[in-house]
Amino acid sequence: MPRRMLVAIIGVVLVLGWLTVKDRKKGSDAPPPNDKIPSVVFGGGAATLTIEATASEPAKVSAVFETGYQVDDSKHKLLETWQMVEAGTHTFTIDVPAGVSGRVEVGIDHPSVGATVELICRVNDELIHRDTAQLDQPLQEGTAFFTQIEFDDFATGEITSD
């Protein structure tokens, strides 16, 4: 009897292990990890968004993508991503679908006085946004040091007006 029980337990462990590996291999339906800027968002297909982020110190580049559906609609999608980068210039190229809005940002968490950040965004190689910021005095408590842009539609390069 104990031998049969041991064989049954081993069988269950093997099946669970196989299911875990199988689910991880699917991957294409799974969202990308949040700690990396993805190369394709929601299947892409409409345009290429190029983000060029430059920082004088280690920084965080973030990109948020959201469909235009109501939050309670089953077709609504939201993807919040970021990537920590070393000082220097970093370029991300993302295949985006039509009708997706969001935000792109580059910032330094604990900047030194004189720190700089620059954010350049292009859609299908057309310059959409360029902004540079420099920290001239110590960062005040409760404030952040970054530059960002908000898009109404990444695919068309339409930006949100203030």
Cβ neighbors of 55 (< 8 A, separation 6 or more) are: 85, 87, 88, 106, 108, 115, 116, 117, 118
Q: How far apart are CA 131 and CA 30, in angstroms?
A: 33
How much is the pLDDT for 35?
Answer: 83
How much is the pLDDT for 24?
Answer: 46
Whole-model pTM: value is 0.78
- DSSP one-letter code for 31: P
How much is the pLDDT for 34?
Answer: 75
pLDDT digits (tens, 9 = 90+) for 78-123: 999 999 999 999 999 999 999 999 999 999 999 999 999 999 999 9
Which residues, given as ranges, of the chain have pLDDT below 50? 7, 12-15, 18-19, 22-29
How much is the pLDDT for 71?
Answer: 87
How much is the pLDDT for 84?
Answer: 96
Q: How far apart are CA 147 and CA 52, in angstroms?
A: 12
Per-residue H/E/C for 96-122: ECCCEEEEEEEEECCCCCCCEEEEEEE
How much is the pLDDT for 27?
Answer: 45
Instruction: State which CATH number among 1.10.3470, 1.10.150, 2.60.60, 3.30.70 fits the domain covering 47-159.
Output: 2.60.60
How much is the pLDDT for 161?
Answer: 75
